[in-house]
Structure 1
C-alpha cells in the first residue's frame, strides 16, 4: 500500500503533529510528505499541493493523509474541489484529526466551516504581525487605537505614569496600588499592577501570541531606563519576605539572626521626652519567633546600621576584586557581546530592502524574515537592559565611602542595600555580636 501525506502549516509551526501519533511503523510506510507554508498575504499559493495532484495523476497512491480536510483549501468550496480532484485521480483522502471520515458529510457540516473561519482569522492575525499592527482585542489601559497603532490615552495614561513613579520611588508594588486608588480612585489588583510594570506594551513594544516581541512600535509610557530599573527592583524584591519590599526602613527584610535562624523585624519603643521637649522613639532589630530560652536579645537599629555600613565599606571592594579576577583575561564584557549581536542583526535588517528590490527575496519572505529579526533584536535588547547599568568595580569604589551611606535617605539606602546584599547575618558571641554580609555575587 502506497501512502503519501500533505501538510499545510503556519510559518512558525514545526512538523506534522498528527503524523507523530501514528507510530514509527506507519511513519516508515509514508513515501513522501508534501508541505506548504501558510503565506498570510497569498493563501492560495500552495505549490506542494499542486505537485501532489500532478504526482497522483501519473502514479496514484492508495492513501493521502492530511491533518484536517480544511488544510486542503482556503474555504469550504475550495476544499471540496481539491478532495474531489484527489479522489478522482484514484487516491483515498484520510483526515487524521477530523471526527468523521465521511468526506462529503463533513464538508457540508459546521466543523469545516469553523475550521476555515479559524484559519482565516489566524491568517489575518499573521498579516497584522508582519505589518507590526496591534493584536486584536481591547487596547491596554492607558492606550487607545488609532492610525494603525496604539496611541497614548491622555485620560488614563497619567494613572499608569503615577503608578510607575510611585513604584520607582518606594519599591513597593502594594504601596503603588494603594497610592493610585487613594489619588485617582482607580482600583486594581496587585497582579494587574505587576502587568503594568512588566508588559512590553507599556515600554513601546508589541508582544504577540506566538511570543515574539517587536520594539518601538508605538509611544511608550515607561522609558527604557525606567524599565531596566523596574526589572532590577522586581528581581531584588522577589526573595524578600512579603510586605518588606517598600518598608520605611532600609534594613527591613535583610537581617537574620544566625543563632536562632529567625529574621529580625524592626520594632519601635514609645517616644520619650528629651530635655528639650522633643519626642524621640528608639528603633530595635528584634528576632521574631525566636525559639530559644532566653530569647535572643534585640539590637539597637542605629548601631546595627552603622556596623553594616562599616562592613560594606571594608568587604565590598575585596569581593568585587575577587569576582572580577575570576573572569578570564580578554573575555568581552556581556554588554559588548550583546551589543555586537544587536548590530549584526540590524545590519541584516538593513539589507532586506535591497534584497527585495533585486528579486532575491519576494515580499512575503522578506516580511517574515524582518519579523523574526526584529523579535531577535528585541530579545537581545531585553538581555542588555538586565545587565548592571554601570561598571561594578567603579561603583564599588564609590559606595565604599562611609559618608556616601550617611548622606542617603532611607529609601535611597534601601535601594543600594538590595543592589549589593542578599542577606545580613547577625553572629552572636556571648554578649557581643558582629555582622556578616552575604553579597549578591
Structure 2
C-alpha cells in the first residue's frame, strides 16, 4: 500500500507547515510554494508508480478555481487514488463543491443571456458571422457590395421561375458560386436579407439595416415557398408545367412525364404515366399535349366559378386596418413613454412595439398582392395560357392548382381540378 501527501502553501500569506503533520507513515510528500509543479509531478507519478491514498489538508489546495480542483479530482479518480482530507470533512466539501459549481455555471449562463438581451434592446445583430452578402458593422449589418449582387440575382431568379434548384444551378453557372439547396433555402427565408434582425428567441425587429430584398419581393418568395412545399420533391424545377400536379384517379398514383421516340426518327413524344401502378392491366399512358390542352380548357371554365363561390373577404379593408395599426405603433414609439409600468424601461417598451410592428408587417405581406376575382377573369382566356412558355405556365399553374386528377380510361379523361383556394 502506497501513501503520499501533498501540501500547497502561498508564501505571500502563510508559512509552510511541518512535513510531519500527518501522523501516518508517508511514502512521499509533495510540496508546492506558490506554483503547482509538484502537483503535476504527483499526478504523473501516480501513473508510473501507482498510489493507494493521497493526503491533503483541504480540497482548496488542489487548485486556484473550482474547475481546476474538479480536473484534479477527475484525474485522481481515473488513477484509482483515494483522497483523504485531514482538516475538513471531505464528503461535505465535495457536496459543497458541486453546489458551488452548479451556481457558478448558472450565473455565467444568466450573465450571457442578460448580455444578449441588452444587445436586443439596442437592436444589435446577434453573435456569429454575418450572412453572405453582409458584413458586421459597429452596431448593425452593412451590405457587402461584392457579394450582395450575387444574392440579389439568386432571389430574382427564384421569383421569376419559382425553382430553388434552378436558382442554385444558375448561381453556379453565372458566378461560379456553389451552394447547397439547403443553403439556398436558408437564404430565401433569412430575415436579414429583408432588412430585419431575427433573434434566437424567435422575435424579429424590422428595418434594422439596409435590405437586399424589398417587402414585395420577400412576400412573393414566401408565397412561392409555401406553394412548393405542397409539391413532390424536385418537381418545382421540372421543365414541364404539369410536373408533380397530375395523378391517376384509378390507381391513385402520381403521373410522371416520360420521353418516347421511335427508332430512326428524330421526333420525340411526351407521355404522362402512373408511377408504381399495381393494377392489372396497368393504367395506360396519356399524351402530354392532350392533358395540357384539356387542363387549360378546364381552367378557363372552372376558375371564375370557383373564385365567385369563395366569398372573398374585403382584402382592401383588412390591409388598411393592419396598415393603420402599424402607423399607430410607430407613433407610439416616437411619443414619450407615459404608459411605462414600474417594471418596464423605455428601451423595453420600444423593443416590444417594434416586435409587434414586425408581426403586423408579416400579416400584411401574407395578403394576396392582387384582387383574385379580377385576376381570374384575366387568366380565363385560352390564348393567355398558350402564349406562355412551359416555365411561365408552370409558375401560373401552381399559383392556382393544387392537383389534377384524370381517368386514363375515359374518352374525355374526366379531368378534375383541385384549386389551392
| Structure 1 and Structure 2 fold alike (TM over 0.5) | yes
Residues 156 and 363 of structure 1, relative CA distance in 2, 3 Å threshold: farther
Distance 1:430 1:151, change over 3 A: closer
Query: What is the alpha-carbon distance in structure 1 between the residues aligned to residue 277 and residue 370 of structure 2?
Result: 40
Q: Give the direction of change, closer, same or farther, for the CA distance of 1:168–1:348 in structure 2 (3 Å limit).
A: closer
3-state SS of 2:261 partner: coil
Structure 2 CA distance for aligned equivalents of residues 398 and 101 of structure 1 = 82
Show CA shifts across 1:97-150 (max 9, x none).
Answer: xxx999x96799555444443333322222221121111221112110124210
Whether the aligned pair in 1 keeps the contact of 2:241 and 2:393 (CA below 8 Å) is yes
Preserved contact between residue 323 and residue 364 of structure 2 (Cα < 8 Å): no
**Please, which of 161, 176, 180 is the counterpart of residue 170 of structure 1?**
161
1:146 aligns with: 137
CA distance in 1, matches of 2:380, 2:155: 30
2:199 aligned residue: 208
Matched, 1:262 2:253: yes
* 2:401 matches 1:421: yes
Q: Tell me the secondary structure at the aligned position of residue 251 of structure 2.
A: coil
Are positions 1:340 and 2:314 aligned together? Answer: no
Distance 1:423 1:353, change over 3 A: closer
CA separation of 1:353 and 1:379: change in aligned 2, threshold 3 A: closer
C-alpha displacement of 1:345: 4.5
Please give the per-residue CA displacement for 1:49-80, whole angstroms capped at 9, x wherever unaligned: xxxxxxxxxxxxxxxxxxxxxxxxxxxxxxxx
State the partner residue of 1:219: 210
Conservation of the 8 A alpha-carbon contact between 1:308 and 1:435: yes
Taking the aligned partners of 2:230 and 2:333, their CA distance within structure 1 comes to 45
The root-mean-square deviation of aligned C-alpha atoms, in Å, is 2.9
Which of 335, 346, 350 lines up with 1:354 in the alignment? 335
Give the match's secondary structure for 1:166: helix
Among 388, 394, 402, which residue is 1:408 paired with?
A: 388
CA distance in 2, matches of 1:436, 1:359: 58
Matched, 1:194 2:185: yes
Paired residues for 1:35-184 under 5 Å: 109-184=100-175
Q: Is residue 2:366 matched to residue 1:366?
A: no
Partners of 2:340 and 2:346 within 8 A in 1: no
Q: Distance in 2 between matches of 1:389 and 1:272?
A: 50
SS of corresponding position for 2:414: strand
- In structure 1, how many angstroms separate the alpha carbons of the residues matched to 2:366 and 2:335? 34
Q: Against the structure 1 CA distance between its residues 344 and 222, is the aligned structure 2 distance closer, same or farther, given a 3 Å change threshold?
A: closer
Deviation at 1:169, TM superposition (A): 2.8
Q: Is the 8 A contact 1:272 1:281 kept in 2?
A: no
Provide the C-alpha distance between the structure 2 equivalents of 1:174 and 1:434, rounded to a whole number of angstroms: 33
Which residue is equivalent to 1:22? Answer: none
- Indicate the residue corresponding to 1:322 in structure 2: 309
Aligned residues: 330
Query: Is 1:295 aligned with 2:276?
Result: no
Post-superposition shift, 1:205?
0.4
Q: Does 1:376 align with 2:363?
A: no
Deviation at 1:186, TM superposition (A): 3.1
Report SS of the residue matched to 1:128: helix
Displacement of 1:342 in angstroms is: 4.1
Identify which range, 234-243 or 116-125, moves more after superposition.
116-125
1:185-220 deviation per Cα after TM superposition (whole angstroms, max 9, x unaligned):
333332221110001111110011221111111111
Does the 8 A contact of 1:273 with 1:280 survive in 2?
no
- Structure 1 position 241, deviation (Å): 1.1
Structure 1 runs not aligned, ≥5 long: 1-99
TM-score, structure 1 normalization: 0.68
Three-state SS of the structure 1 residue aligned to 2:377 is helix
Structure 1, residues 389-414: CA drift from partner, whole Å, max 9, x if none? Answer: 11111111011111111111111111
Q: Distance in 2 between matches of 1:200 and 1:248?
A: 30
Q: Write the distance in 2 (CA, Å) between the matches of 1:115 and 1:376.
A: 31
TM-score (norm 2): 0.71
- How many angstroms apart in 2 are the aligned matches of 1:229 and 1:347? 26
Determine which structure has more spread, i.e. the larger CA radius of gyration: 2
